Chains A and B, each alone.
Chain A
Amino acid sequence: MSAEFSVTPQIEPERYELRAPSPYHFELRRRDFFRTLGAGLLVACVLKDAFALQESGGGRRPMGDELPREISAWLHIGENGGVTTYTGKVEIGQNIRTSLSQAVAEELRFPLARIEMVMGDTRLTPYDMGTFGSRTTPTMNLHLRQVAAAARDVLIDLAAKQWNADRSVLLARDGRITDPSTKRTIEYVELLRGQQLTELVPAEDPLEPPAEWTVEGKPVPKVDGRDFVTGKHKYPSDQVLPGMLHGKVLRPPSFGATLASVETPDLTALSGVTFVHDGNFVGVAGPSEETAIRALKSVRAEWRETPDEVSSKNVYDYLKENPAKVGGELGERSSDYELGAVDRALAAADHRIEQTYTVAYIAHAPLEPRAALAEWSGDSLTVWTGTQRPFGVRSELARTFNLPEENVHVLMPDMGSAYGGKHTGESAIEAARLARAANRPVRVVWTREEEFTWAYFRPAGAMEIKGGVQNDGSIVAWEFHNYNSGGSGIRTFYEIPNQRILFHPTEYPLRQGSYRALAATANHFARESFMDELAHEVKMDPLAFRLKNLKNERLRAVFEAAGAKFDWSRPKQPGHGFGIGGGFEKGGNVATCAEVTVDQASGEVHVVRVVTAFECGAIVNPDNLRNQIEGGNIMGLGGALFEAIQFENGKILNPLFSRYRVPRFSDIPVFETVLIDRKDIPSAGAGESPLMGVAPAIGNAIFDAKGVRLRSMPMVPEQLNVA
């Protein structure tokens, strides 16, 4: 273990962070006005530093502040004998409230049921950059184990001192220290006598090896599951304060539109409504949601729209023809890679093929849209909001309202998920802006249409690949270009002596950002589809072809396990096709086999069966891991077969679930999951990488069934040229 403190936040190098401007921003020079209707009060206010809104929220750590190393910053033993743990990570359905509790229970030797996790509260929890990149399990789980182990050691010391006993014979178990020789026993809480553990977490402290785990590694059920099945859990959109108003924001008719004029509405018929116009921001807050909606409808505004030629129909040409004007900004050029002599090897190969693959813009569409409740007290702001980056949202709010960060308190109640789509604080800023004007708490909950339109999207992208392969099936040359979609998972893990791999940042038409598994989905779709094309070129079985070109034992293990469970070589029913795809990213190894049928008349693809083998080191919670693998496959199936944002002239054409198809019950195949538990390898996260194999597996299975190669995600019936 490194002597460096283990949770020092790090940005994963390929992270595709949002860098588009916010859809509106408060103006600097304009004297905005608030008008509280009914009271007839006019308030003037000038906001500074509003351009900070253009950034997605850097979420900087307070300058000069190291992360706390005292045990007490992370773990408290309360006077009632319960344990409270503090972490800036947040629960969004990936079930870390449970898995992190397991980590603490394991090393502290304390009953899981009496551990409470305080998560994502910027006042109570140590700084955390955010919950993304599958970092919670490799960093926070490990860190909390270290904290809990340190706490246990201190407690043993205290008992040894109190009993004048040899510490090496004392046992910590079930929240108490026991001396087996004297049978003396004492509870942790009694040892502390109201004190907290202010000792430092040592840099090195041996942890329980995974093979010895008794709480981690077990299928512990969701710790607060009962609150969810009874409807008691309060999500961000359920938060309420006395006197709270409901806020609504006027949206532009298209992206890039600016406000030309707005009339202050006559709202005499609607009592208690606050109207705010500040720069491009127009919003209302009223005593009920219906009143706020009616007030917003009465606002007359004119917008200056800017025509946009780019649409979902021509987006791929646009991406390839428009390199980014500020290319270096992303830092993703680090994924560029050159090995050997690609051009020469391609020219000399027995077979050469080249293909282009594309992925569409898609929406995260978390079932709970963006929501925030904001309350001011003087110059202090408290916001409850659904975000993966509470500290990032704190920074956004501090910059927007020109406040010191310590005046802003962000709390993140466990939310209705995100999938990489809630790194930003739009609704928090809107609610705070309205609350400032109304002088009352204001809650803003986005509509589904707002969430589909004004959030950000997974980037569309085009991938161009050239490959050279010998008659014996060995790949000798590989050239891979990704335009806009991102650098995550771009490198090939196959043994190829000559490679050129480039990510090309481009200009892009829609606000785009992070998404579960990032570009690894696009890059794996392209690479694993192309691998299939190469295999067919040399008339080899696609699984055997992969194994021939693969040395990495962890990847071989998942491909072999998936193939065995699926029974890859078995005969097929007429009209059925088999496909395989897999890869490695963020510490997770995945291989997925799919069986599909294609309807002869409609071309509709039905996925019959999916087998996924997965390995991410020592398994922390096998049942939750299966849940993530199944869920990831289903989310991946949506992107593979039907999800696509249609847009034209700055407008989203399908911003509703009735027009944007997501996977439903009838789309779900039979799932089988093979878990490989490598207790000798540190645990990695599993919320993202299980997605990567399913799209190429389905595409390859469609080719197997129909002989038609689909190279664009989503793979829709039109591409099959059915009658």
Chain B
Amino acid sequence: MANVTTLNVNGSTRAINADAQTSLLSVLRDQLDLTGSKYGCGEGQCGACTVLIDENPRHSCITPVGTVGNRRITTIEGLEVNGRLHPVQEAFLAEEAMQCAYCTSGMIMTAAALLRSNPRPTAEQVAQYMQGNICRCGTYPRIVAAVLRAAKEARA
């Protein structure tokens, strides 16, 4: 089986060594020490592993690394630019939209993708778009508020 030897992550080309079938999530976590993306289910049901691939949100736990060799991958670690948090990150802090926060990376990545495609979502659109992300602590109302806040602040 072919091996994948480089990956374009958070703006840099990184050397890896993985079987093409290996999940992107385990390569990010175990080879690149990018542990902000989380394992939650392994079947694309909970969204804790969400990363952006060419700006689209994808479940890295069910994405074979061989399918993303040439694509631009953004993880939670790549969202902050020069020490400045992404508006969605700021909004999650402002709304205290977390408890244990294990889902938070995936929530923020999904929300960042939503705001890129729809800068002015309604609360219903936020809920619909983020339906694939589970927060077991139940901070959903705060997450919706945070996404709406980020949208508003981005316009201001």
Contact = CB atoms under 8 A, between A and B. Distances in A.
Interface in B100-151: 100-105, 108, 126-128, 130-131, 133-144
Contacts of A225: 92-93, 96, 98
Interface residues of A, number: 56
Contact of B99 (A93, A229, A289, A658): A93
Interface in A40-75: none
Nearest to B94: A221
Interface string A212-246: 00000000011001101111111101101000001
A419 B105 CA distance: 21
Contacts of A234: 35
Interface in B1-58: 19, 22, 26, 29-30, 33-43, 45-46, 48
Given A93-B100, A229-B92, A290-B22, A662 B136 contact: yes
Contacts of B126: 665
A650 B48 CA distance: 30
Contact of A627 (B75, B142, B144): B142
A290 B45 CA distance: 21
B87 to A, nearest CB: 11
Contacts of A657: 40-41, 43, 45-46, 134
B153 interface: no
A623 B76 contact: no
Contact of A230 (B26, B45, B85, B134): B85
A634 B36 CA distance: 25
Given A623-B96, A666-B131, A93 B80 contact: no
A566 B108 CA distance: 32
A658 B19 contact: no
Nearest to A95: B99
Contacts of A222: 93, 96, 98
A230 B140 contact: no
A166 B38 CA distance: 57
B60 interface: no
A238 B134 contact: no
Interface string A663-677: 111101001000000
B101 to A, nearest CB: 4
A663 B144 CA distance: 15
A419 B22 CA distance: 32
Interface string A407-420: 00000001111010
A668 B134 CA distance: 12
A367 B36 CA distance: 14
Interface in A262-282: none
A631 B64 CA distance: 34
Contact of A367 (B30, B43, B136, B142): B136
Given A225-B93, A231-B36, A668 B45 contact: no
B100 A417 contact: yes
Interface string A632-645: 11110000000000
B80 A230 contact: yes
Interface in B76-95: 76-77, 79-80, 85, 89, 92-93
Given A630-B138, A635-B138, A229 B93 contact: yes
Contact of B136 (A238, A240, A365, A624): A365
Given A240-B33, A656-B45, A631 B137 contact: yes
A172 B82 CA distance: 39
A603 interface: no
A93 B103 CA distance: 11
A665 B96 contact: no
A367 B77 CA distance: 20
Contacts of A237: 38-39
Contacts of B137: 93, 417, 631, 635
Contact of A417 (B43, B76, B85, B99): B99
Contact of B77 (A94, A230, A623, A656): A230
Contacts of B105: 231
A225 B99 CA distance: 10
B35 to A, nearest CB: 4
A97 to B, nearest CB: 11
Contact of A662 (B93, B100, B134, B141): B134
Interface in A371-428: 414-417, 419
A631 B138 contact: yes
A229 B108 contact: yes
Nearest to A667: B140
Nearest to A230: B80
A288 interface: yes
A366 interface: yes
Nearest to B48: A367
B99 A233 contact: no
A113 B45 CA distance: 37
A447 interface: yes
Nearest to A628: B99
A627 B99 contact: yes
A632 B42 CA distance: 26
A673 to B, nearest CB: 10
A631 B103 CA distance: 14
A367 B134 contact: yes
Contact of A664 (B38, B101, B134, B139): B134
A445 interface: yes
Given A230-B89, A447-B42, A656-B41, A235 B99 contact: no
Q: Which 5 A-B pairs have the closest CB atoms?
A: A231-B36, A93-B100, A634-B138, A416-B102, A231-B76
7 contacts: A229-B98, A230-B76, A230-B80, A238-B29, A290-B19, A630-B138, A665-B131
Interface of B: 19, 22, 26, 29-30, 33-43, 45-46, 48, 75-77, 79-80, 85, 89, 92-93, 96, 98-105, 108, 126-128, 130-131, 133-144
Given A623-B96, A634-B140, A635-B138, 11 more contacts: A93-B101, A221-B96, A226-B93, A228-B104, A229-B85, A229-B101, A367-B135, A656-B41, A662-B136, A664-B133, A665-B127
